[in-house]
Amino acid sequence: MAVINPLTKMDAAASVQVLYDALAQKFGFVPNIFSAMAYQPEALSSFVPFFQSIMSGGTLADRDKELAYLATSMFNGCEY
């Protein structure tokens, strides 16, 4: 299976480097899903607000939301 190495902030497009800062501030680091998505800056720029809208608010606790997407990944055979 091919491996996609996540991009560092310095290697990412200038247009998404501010997202790297915001993600690092929120999580304490930039999760690999975001830094791998940085190969397509437009996708990353669109995905971050979408992700934030799902993960903020609502009736489920953040932990339950994370468990739901991890279970979905496992169900779909995601090896990462």
Q: Which amino acid is at 23?
A: L
What domain range includes position 50? 14-75
Whether residue 69 lies inside any domain: the answer is yes
The confidence band for 4, taking pLDDT boundaries of 50, 70 and 90, is confident
pTM for the predicted model, two decimal places: 0.79
The answer to whether residue 30 is domain-embedded is: yes
| List of long-range contacts for 18-22, beta carbons under 8 Å, 24+ apart | 19/44, 19/45, 19/48, 22/48
pLDDT of residue 80: 67
Mean pLDDT, residues 9-22 taken together: 96
pLDDT, tens digit, for every residue of 25-78?
999 999 999 999 999 999 999 999 998 888 888 899 989 998 998 899 999 988
pLDDT value, residue 36: 94
Is residue 80 a part of any domain in this protein?
no
Helix, strand or coil for residue 12? coil
Count of structural domains within the chain? 1
Residue 6 lies in a domain: no
The answer to whether residue 9 is domain-embedded is no
